[in-house]
Every structure is written in C-alpha cells, then in structure tokens.
Amino acid sequence: MNAIERFAAIAAIAAGLAPAAQAAYTIPKFRVNQYYDSNAVLQRGVTLPISGAAIQGRTVTVTFAGRTLSATADLESPYASDGEARWRVEFPAMEAGGPYTLTATDGTTTLTATNILVGEVWLASGQSNAYYPIERFADAAAWLQDADYPTIRFIEATENHFEWQLNQNAWQVASSATAGKCSAMGFFFAKELQGKLGVPVGIVTAAVDGSLIDEWLPDCTSAKDHYSKMILNNLEPIPPLPVKGVLWYQGESDGMFGFGYNYRFKLQALVRNWRALWNDADMPFLVAQLPFYGAYGQWCDVRDSQNWVGRQEQGVHVVPTLDIGDLTDIHPPKKPELGRRLSEFARKYVYGEPGLYPEGPVYLRSEVNPGNASEILVHFDTHTAITSGDGQALRGFQVGGDYYGTTKFFDGTVRIVDADTLAVSCPTFPEPLAVRYGFANTDPVNFFDAEGNAAGAFRTDSFKLQSQSEDPHEHGWKLTASGDTLTATCTNANCTAGTPTFSIGGETTKAYDGTPLAATLVGTDFAALTSSSLGMLEYYRGSTKLSGPPVQAGTYEARVEVDHQNTIYVLRRTLTITAPRPRVVFCID
C-alpha cells in the first residue's frame, strides 16, 4: 500500500467514525466479547476466559456447557465507555465437542449465544495474502463447490474493530454461501486440518494489506500514525482469546522497502511479544516463506530473515512457497496448496502426527568438491531422494565468487550427486565461494524431494546481504538505552557532534491536584544522529495505552521510541500520581 492508498484508507475510517455514523449505532451497556458469540469455535484443552463489559459494579453470571460462574464488572478496559467496566470469568478446559449454548446476564438483560463448538482455533495474520478472500480469486466458483463444512468457522477482525463492539463482525459457518468471504489461506488450512483431526476448526483473521511488521508490534511501532493505530486495533482486542497457533504471511512490504535484513529482528520480537500477549511461551508460528514475485529481488532477504528466526526460536516453522508463487501476481492463486502445506507442518510439529515429512530438502552443510575445485557440494537433510520436479535441470541456484575484487552471485549449474547431495558450479568462478537458492526470481523452480515436498530458500554463506545496513559504529555512534535515557557515545573519528542524549524528563511523583502529570522530552544535539526518528510520547497503565496524559491517581508509564538505523530504542519513565489529601473546610459563623 502506497502513501496515497494509506491516506485513502485512513480517510475512509475517519468517515466511518464520524458523529453522524456513530449516532446511528449505540453500543449496549451490557455485552459479551464477540469472539464468544453464536457459531464460535473455542480452543480445546485450555482455560476459556469469557469476557465482556457491563455497568461498573454489576454482577454478571455466565452459564456455559453445564457450568455457571459469576464475576463483577470492575476491570479496567480501553474499550469500555463511561460508567462501564470489563468483566471476565474463566471456564475450565474442555474436550472438542458441541454445540453448546452460552448465556450471560447482568440481572437486567440476558444475552444468549448458540451453536458454539470446541476444537482448534488458529490466528491467520499478516498482510493481504493472509486475509485475501476466496471470492477474489479466479477459481472461486470451483473452490466454493466444496465449501460446506459446518464444523469450520471463521471470523475477521476488521480494521475498525474494537472488543465487544456488537455486530462489528461475527462468526460464520463455512458454506458455499459464506466461505467466499473467508481468508483463502485460512480456509484451505482449516479444511485440511479438520479433515485430518476430525474436530471443529476456527480461523480468526487479523490482517491488513500493505502493512509492515513494525505495525503489528504494540511496543515497537516506529510509525506513530493513524494507519499504524488502525492495524493495532486489528490485533489488541483478540487476546486473551486462546488460539492454538499463528499462521503468519507477511513481509512483502518490508522487502519492497529494503528492510529485509532487519526483518529478522522484528519477526523475532513479534513472536516473543505475541507469546507474551497470549501468555503462551510455546505458541507455534507457521511462517509462509515469501514466494517469487515481479522484480522484487530483495524479498530474498526477507526469506533469509524468516529462516534465521526459524533457527533461533523454538516453535517457529518456515513453510516453503517458492514453487507456488506467481511472478505476475502478488496474491498467488495456489492457496489450496498453501493451506495443505501449512496443515502438514501443523500436524507434524504442533499435533505430533508421526510419519510426516513436509519440509522437503533442508540445507545442512557445504564444501568445495575435493575432486573438482570448480564445484561446491551442498548436503541436505531429506527424507526421500532429491529430485527435479519436472525432470529438467534444477533451477533457482546461484553461485558466488570473486568478481573483480567484489563478491558477486550468478546463476549456477546444478547436478544431482546422490540422494542428499548437489554439486553446484558457475563458469564465471573457477573457485566458487558460496551457493544460494531462492535469492533470484526464477519461475517456476523445481527443487523437490521424491515425495513432492518443495525445498525452501537457503544460502551457504554469511556475506553481507543487499539490505543489510552498515555497522552503526562506522558512523562513530554507539547508542545505549537505559530507563528513560538514550545516550550516544563516540567510538571513532567519524562522529560529527559531541555526546547526543535523549531522555524523558519531568516529575515522577506528585499528589494529584486535578491537572495531568506529564513528562517532557529532553534532547541535546540529537539531530546529529543520522537516520533517526522520534515517536510520540505515550502513556500506559499496565498494558493499556491511554488516549492522553494520565488524570487520575495511580501509577503509569511514559514511553517514547527512537528509531535509529533500523533499530528501535524504547525509553520508559514511571509516573505516579498519589491520592489527593483530604480537603479541610473552615466554617465561620
């Protein structure tokens, strides 16, 4: 999404939230989180936190699957209006089954949700390829002929989405009449998974086209604009709805803007951040490795970053898609195959199904051929023998070597040595240094194992990537963040100004006297730091972000983010407002 498209999206949302539109819609005082509404699928095997909003202090009683629990509406929430509070009850874990009915009452109003199932719930997230609905594909009519699956349900978290906002979106039962609106990736994943597990499957889609990964990180968003906040509105209200795992298809925008190398640190942060949001340290992530498309060669750096996170983080599995992309279509239409692959990875790595080997040949190691120095031998971990998918020479490989004093990569020639080894060479390099696969757009690629499982992108080298920024120490500055202060120290003669600092200043504690307790931003020569950007000063109470400075007694945190050379530094300052002293009134007769 370019700047004009983003502006149009923001304008459309602003129009949707105009007073006239709001006047036509009144949010009831008593309501249940929409994720527990009729036709929902809830995650089996975990505690089920059912929540909603009610008038402050009201007792809410919830009955579900033969159990009744009560709670008081006394929890803070950014989505509750004046005089309201959040309530929450936690039902014990359940086995797959249903349908069930849920009723909730605040003593005045009773709400009923029907046809609720318990099974497996997955979050499909990212940018447009994560949500792109079936109805937008040329094969939609054929796909929808086999879409009647009453135990597959789906719900979309829209860009205007807020928790408990009635009728903003609703669970849908998959059928030929409804599935056209479902994420194609999510539907075909659910269809495969439900067929193998034999339990209900629910897909929650939270995805925004053109989004950068930064914009999905509540604590790491460097672009403090309405578009970023719109994206986070997509995500923030979903947890603590339990999900089994995440289907992540994103990175196209980061690759296009040349952020491919640093994508690894952002994706790693997202995995850790979301696991913390859901309080699930082992929550699985199935990451769709970007396919080929157009002239965007720098997508290869995103693929390399995805591989890096897969190696660094337990429970992150990178699913190859090089062979099911489309050089002319950024929304490749082979979504049924993508769903099947995601499902197989889930069945093997999440559900522990034996006898599955969906990953295809996986790079192990390489060395120069001792019998022929012009070849590099590349060894793989593969369940069945390496093969060419179309019987022709393997494509998509590049060889790197010294090219007039610099390291360059050119298309390589490949021969299959044995079941798990390739020999790769290039006439340009009599002494090649490295091999890469999936780093230059080649459509179609044909590197598979004998069972038809595709290989993912890989490289044998650790050379600097195209999008890899220079070492920040080359500019002379070394940045460190501690508490509420960011300090830059000079490490070499390249520094252009002396000791820049940036900090959050102001009072940290005072008695509340009716005026906001505010922090200020203090900087010295900060402009001397090149390629830096400064976020807005924001205030939090716990994990809840305030709409402005705090105005009530309590403990808060002021935060500001500094983005310097693709690294985010978060500064924090604790602010405490104590309760006001009792007023003493003197009466004079």
372 and 496 within one domain:
no
Contacts of 571 (CB under 8 A, 6+ apart): 481, 483, 484, 485, 486, 502, 503, 504, 559, 560, 561, 562
* Strand, coil or helix: 303: helix
158 and 256 within one domain:
yes
Query: Token pair of 235, please?
Result: 């995500």
CA gap 461, 433 in Å, rounded? 8
Q: What is the pLDDT of residue 3?
A: 34
CA gap 435, 379 in Å, rounded? 11
Contacts of 585 (CB under 8 A, 6+ apart): none
With respect to residue 86, please indicate whether it lies within any of the assigned structural domains. no
| Pairing assessment for the beta strands 97-105 and 172-174 based on DSSP bridges | unpaired
CA gap 250, 124 in Å, rounded? 10
451 and 517 within one domain:
no
Query: Model confidence over 370-420: pLDDT tens digits?
Result: 999 999 999 999 999 999 999 999 999 999 999 998 999 999 999 999 999
Query: Which residue would you say has higher pLDDT here, 472 or 497?
Result: 497
Q: Domain range holding 449?
A: 362-459
Q: What is the pLDDT of residue 233?
A: 65
CA gap 567, 220 in Å, rounded? 10
**What HEC string does 4-42 produce?**
HHHHHHHHHHHHHCCHHHHHCCCCCCCEECHHHCCCCEE
Q: How far is CA 404 from CA 138, 192, 401, 428, 433, in A?
A: 48, 52, 10, 11, 14
334 and 208 within one domain:
yes
Q: Establish how many alpha carbons lie within 13 A of residue 101's alpha carbon, considering only the half-sphere containing its beta carbon.
A: 4
How far is the first Cα of the chain from the last one, in angstroms, to the nearest whole number? Answer: 72
Residue 148 burial by CB count (10 A; 0-12/13-18/19+): exposed, middle or buried? middle
CATH no. for residue 201?
A: 3.40.50.1110
CA gap 388, 371 in Å, rounded? 24
CA gap 388, 394 in Å, rounded? 6
CA gap 486, 257 in Å, rounded? 27
Q: Is the peptide bond before 284 cis (omega within 30 degrees of 0)?
A: no
Name residue 276's amino acid: A
With respect to residue 5, please indicate whether it lies within any of the assigned structural domains. no
392 and 273 within one domain:
no
CA gap 112, 101 in Å, rounded? 7
Which of these three, 349, 371, 392, is where a domain ends? 349
| Pairing assessment for the beta strands 434-437 and 458-459 based on DSSP bridges | antiparallel
Q: Establish how many alpha carbons lie within 13 A of residue 374's alpha carbon, considering only the half-sphere containing its beta carbon.
A: 10
With respect to residue 46, please indicate whether it lies within any of the assigned structural domains. no
Q: What is the pLDDT of residue 499?
A: 65
pLDDT band at 507; cut points 50, 70, 90 = confident
Q: What sign for the dihedral angle of Cα 320, 326, 331, 336?
A: negative
With respect to residue 511, please indicate whether it lies within any of the assigned structural domains. yes
H helical segments located in 290-401: 299-312, 335-349
CA gap 376, 415 in Å, rounded? 11
With respect to residue 3, please indicate whether it lies within any of the assigned structural domains. no
Which of these three, 300, 316, 349, is where a domain ends? 349
For the chain, how many structural domains are there in total? 3
386 and 335 within one domain:
no
CA gap 103, 101 in Å, rounded? 7
The whole-number average pLDDT for the span 301-313 is 96
For residues 394 and 422, is the Cβ–Cβ distance under 8 A? Answer: yes
Average pLDDT across the chain, whole number: 85
379 and 232 within one domain:
no
CA gap 154, 145 in Å, rounded? 18
CA gap 119, 112 in Å, rounded? 20
CA gap 127, 234 in Å, rounded? 12
Query: Which residue would you say has higher pLDDT here, 472 or 481?
Result: 481
DSSP for 64-81 reads ETTEEEEEES-B--TT--
| Pairing assessment for the beta strands 316-319 and 285-288 based on DSSP bridges | parallel
Rounded (10°) CA dihedral 457, 460, 464, 466? -30
342 and 225 within one domain:
yes
Which of these three, 304, 319, 349, is where a domain ends? 349
For residues 153 and 169, is the Cβ–Cβ distance under 8 A? Answer: no
> What is the 3-state composition of the chain as percent helix, strand, coil, each rounded to the nearest 5?
20, 35, 45
Query: Which residue would you say has higher pLDDT here, 379 or 477?
Result: 379
With respect to residue 437, please indicate whether it lies within any of the assigned structural domains. yes
The whole-number average pLDDT for the span 438-461 is 94
- 217, 212, 228: which is closest to 159 by C-alpha? 228
The whole-number average pLDDT for the span 235-258 is 91
Query: Model confidence over 189-207: pLDDT tens digits?
Result: 999 999 999 999 999 999 9
529 and 403 within one domain:
no
Query: Model confidence over 346-362: pLDDT tens digits?
Result: 999 999 999 999 999 99
262 and 159 within one domain:
yes
Query: Model confidence over 121-155: pLDDT tens digits?
Result: 999 999 999 999 999 999 999 999 999 999 999 99
Q: How far is CA 504 from CA 224, 507, 519, in A?
A: 17, 10, 6
DSSP structural state of residue 359: T
Q: How far is CA 201 from CA 73, 246, 320, in A?
A: 31, 13, 23
With respect to residue 339, please indicate whether it lies within any of the assigned structural domains. yes
pLDDT band at 222; cut points 50, 70, 90 = very low
The answer to whether the predicted template modeling score (pTM) of the entire model surpasses 0.85 is no
With respect to residue 293, please indicate whether it lies within any of the assigned structural domains. yes
337 and 366 within one domain:
no
545 and 409 within one domain:
no
Q: What is the pLDDT of residue 96?
A: 98
